[in-house]
Structure 1
Amino acid sequence: MKSTKALTTSSSSFEPDWAWLPRNLLFMVLNKLFLLSDMIRFASVCSHWRFVAKDRFEQLNLHGNMHFTRNIPMLLIPAIENDSPIHNLFSITRGEIYDLRLPVPYTKRYIGSSHGWLIILDEVSFVVTLINPFYFGNSQGIIHLPPFIAALDTSEEEGQDFNCEYFVRKAILSSDPATSPNDYVLMLIYGEFQLLASWKSGDTHWTYVNWEVPLIYDLMYSHGQILAVDILGQLISCDIRVKPASHSIVSDHLLGMLGTFCRRYIVKLPDGTILQTVRLLRACKCNKDVPAFFTIGFVLYKLLDNNDRKKWISVESLGEGALFVGDNHSQYVITSNFPGCAPNSVYFTDYYEDADSKRLNSYHFTAHRYIGVCHLDDGIIRRIFYLVEKICLDSCFVTYLVTVNAYPSGFT
């Protein structure tokens, strides 16, 4: 009994000092981390671990003046460095370019940017691929989904006239595949008539939702259903949990303004309210005979229950909120959580090229390539970043998901 007691006492008095693990052991742990969020968590443990992580961050070209804040979109931008294509990040709230040289495809159009993942459609195999741009490892930051058969069929029908990059208008995820690997859904808008399709993790094939000429503009996921807005501003609910998927129109229509084109986006606010953002565009022939689109403003509506039929009512202000909209990402944020983000504003990518027209004719429409912000209180649109047209193949908002609020301090 004595020996047992002594052993227990001795064992209980031993408390390892995790903060001062040997450097070589910490390096071994750090080299097993490939997600940027995991590296930041590692560096946030204590000053000793942060010092050990410094070499790894420098290797990845990360520096102390770079701020990665949770749930605020940044702009993924292509660039050329020493005649080689690279991708960097532009911080909209700080107005800074972060030279990260992210390992993501340069020549692909991103059909979606959702929950921290980029989404592309391969023009040869028609496989849909998810890429985590903040993953600095081998293949674990890439997820290959089954081939999108609708693209294959259309390619065979149209032959050389088929434009794969613009066949899918937009794709979104229901949740982060890294945290819900067995329970996420990918939804997309595709084809000439902008139909809906979905794929659930574990499925071997895609589910297609078909009805007469819907012309879907945007979509979101809510409680096992796809909510989509069509060309008339109607909200459509699609239940993909049943086979075949059912659908119904649940709101009144909402027309745009005369004399303008428009694009529509839907997002859900923190209180559950569904917001429709109508982006007003005007076309003009500013460069020879090539029509160009210009964003001239935004109008907002929220969905209001009206017995059996919901209706849209005008919204004059976002208050302390801000919207980020684009062909591959839409998001609402509360600006008080993000210094530098303007309240009551809409941030947008205005390298606008109509996906439908690009699918049919790659040179039909063009646009000035810049990132802008529309201040809703006075309607003024301000350009905050220009993209170099000759090297900019595509850019998109991407949200960095991490459990700490900012990049660890202490790096110089």
Structure 2
Amino acid sequence: MPRHTRRRLTHNPPTTEQGLRWANDLPSEILSIIASESGSAACYVTLRRVCKGWGNALSMAPFPPLPSPQVPFLLVPPRGIDSTASCPLGYAYPLPFPVPSRTASFPLPQLQGTLGCICVGSSHGWLISLGRDSSLSLINPVTADSISLPHLSTMDNTVLSFDKDSSPQYHLRQNGKSFSQFSIVHRSVLSSDPVQDPGFTVLLFLSGLTNCCFTWRKGSTRWHQYLHEPFLVEDVVFVKGVFAAINWSINLAIFDFRNLETPLMIIYEDALFKVLPKEAFLVEAAGDLWLVLKLVKSGDCRMHRGAIQVFQIHMRGDVDGSREAEAIEIQSLTNCVLFVGHGSSVCVTVDQFPWLAPDTVYFTHFYTKLGKAQNIAHHGGVYKFTVSSKAARKAFTVGQPRYSVLWNCLRFHWVTPNLNRLNP
């Protein structure tokens, strides 16, 4: 009877250096072509994170020609209050969403000067970053370019009272309330891309201040304060040379800062709607002003039909100086896709991104569920709403359950990847 001899097969896996040797030897021109063929800036960022060699090669190579605008990714704040060195500003969820899990996201790279900072706004692909010492910066998470802004401490102290000795956070006290680093900036937005428009304007609304806002332009060493009629801003967007804002009662206001010496504010007194929504968002779409109403309050787990309504706002002025605004409901977005968030809403068309479903609105929503041991867990997710059919479903769940204070203080932001670079 034949005897079979068992022989142990040994396998020596290649080391990390051997396994990545082919990657390190790949020419930067090939990497640039791969990124260009993908058509996605999110893919470009992912390629840079594969290994150090690819990151260095793509940083030195010219940026690939990518379509504009890009599909935005969702910036999710860190899990905890304290930012860490590995994840200073949060995690990015690129589109399309592969699976509704943690593996779908990737941490933003460590950017210089972002340790201890939080993101308080996103416009034209730039993040507005706030530090613990009241420092403000504009940061491009794709190119790593940054623009320093004046500290909040340069604002008029007759309006604001600062406590510089507070540790480890920077606080603002106004009308008997104390606002920490995580809630001091209520809304922040840019007028345009700082690379394409050196005369861009930064607009800030601070928490607790309803009768003033602050602007900054390149060359100024401090924030310019503008006093106006009481108006608690719910959302603000830049459209046709001016900033359009709405309050929680859905009154419309126009802020015109084209001449900083004589800024102008126009309030449309009549509310666009008599029923108050839970949240309201403004979107600039090819020069038009759209209004998105969210009719479901945070905490609700189920998303019912009609949770979202979309309107186009028409503003008219009469010869006698009276002004009127009208909101006309949009029954279908046709080939448009909206990503709505306060100060960071984006509109794209499916002509450039055919894999996107048209006539849809993506929005974030926070809800509570009964977890293990009968504990209430606070979750966040992104929902997809079809305007014509008024059907809503969850696109994916964001990360893991977090404390409710994180959902309220550390906001989500849509970020449109921007590959334009500042002049060296």
TM value normalised by structure 1: 0.67
Letter in 1 for 2:148: H
Offset at residue 193 of structure 1 (A): 4.0
Q: 1:330 aligns with which of 324, 331, 345?
A: 345
CA positional deviation for 1:329: 1.0
- Pair 1:384-2:392 in alignment: no
Alpha-carbon deviation of 1:98?
5.4
* Aligned residues of 2:214 and 2:226 also touching (Cα < 8 A): yes
- 2:63 maps to what in 1? none
Give the residue type in structure 2 aligned to 1:73: P
Q: Which residue of 1 aligns with 2:146?
A: 142
The corresponding residue for 1:372 is 383
Q: Which letter maps to 1:103?
A: Q
2:244 is the alignment partner of 1:246: no
CA contact 1:76–1:88 (8 Å) conserved in 2: yes
For structure 2, the residue ranges without an aligned partner over 5 or more in a row are: 1-23, 38-46, 56-65, 164-172, 319-323, 369-376
Deviation at 1:324, TM superposition (A): 0.7
Aligned partner of 2:401: which letter? E
Partner of 1:401: 418
In the aligned structure 2, how far is the partner of 1:254 from the partner of 1:91?
35
Aligned to 1:19: none
Cα distance change on mapping 1:398 and 1:55 into 2, 3 Å = closer
Paired residue type of 1:274: L
Say whether the 8 Å CA contact 2:239–2:288 is kept in structure 1.
no
Counterpart code for 1:327: H
Residue aligning to 1:361: none
Using a 3 Å threshold, how does the CA distance of structure 1 residues 85 and 225 change in structure 2: closer, same or farther?
same
Q: Deviations over 1:215-250 (max 9, x none)?
A: 111112234422212223222122211424221124
CA contact (8 A) 1:324 1:348 kept: yes
Structure 1 pair 99–216 and aligned structure 2 pair: CA distance change class (3 A): closer
CA contact (8 A) 1:251 1:312 kept: no
Q: Which residue of 1 aligns with 2:201?
A: 185
Q: Which residue of 1 aligns with 2:321?
A: none
Aligned to 1:132: 140
Corresponding residue to 1:121 among 111, 130, 133: 130
Contact 2:344 2:415 in 1 (8 A): yes
CA distance in 2 between partners of 1:307 and 1:60 (Å): 59
Q: Deviations over 1:44-74 (max 9, x none)?
A: 59xxxxxxxx899642777xxxxx8642111
Q: Structure 1 residues 43, 215: closer, same or farther in 2, change over 3 A?
A: closer
Residues 130/344 of structure 1: CA separation in 2 closer, same or farther (3 Å cut) = same
SS at match of 2:333: coil
Which amino acid in the other structure matches residue 143 of structure 2?
Answer: Y
Counterpart Cα distance in 1 of 2:305 and 2:223: 35
Other structure's SS at 1:329 match: coil
Instruction: Report SS of the residue matched to 2:214.
Output: strand
Q: Does the 8 Å CA contact 2:216/2:222 hold for their aligned counterparts?
A: yes
Q: 1:55 to 1:383 in 2, by over 3 A?
A: closer
Higher relative contact order (CA 8 A, sep 6+): 1
Give the whole-Å Cα distance in 2 for the aligned partners of 1:394 and 1:295. Answer: 25
| Residues 61 and 99 in structure 1, CA contact (< 8 A), matched pair in contact too | no
Q: 1:103 aligns with which of 100, 110, 115?
A: 110
The answer to which structure has the higher helix fraction is 1
Partner of residue 218, structure 2? 201
- Counterpart residue number, 2:314: 304
Deviation at residue 202 of structure 1 after TM alignment: 1.3
Cα distance in 1, alignment partners of residues 329 and 97 from structure 2:
31
What is the RMSD computed on CA atoms of the aligned residues? Answer: 4.2
Identical aligned residues as a percent: 23
Residue 279 of structure 1 corresponds to which residue in structure 2?
294
Q: 1:252·1:311 contact (CA, 8 Å) conserved in 2?
A: no
Please list the CA deviations of residues 323-353 of structure 1 after superposition, one character each: whole Å capped at 9, or x if unmatched: 1111341111112321332211111122489
Residue 183 (structure 2) pairs with residue 166 (structure 1):
yes
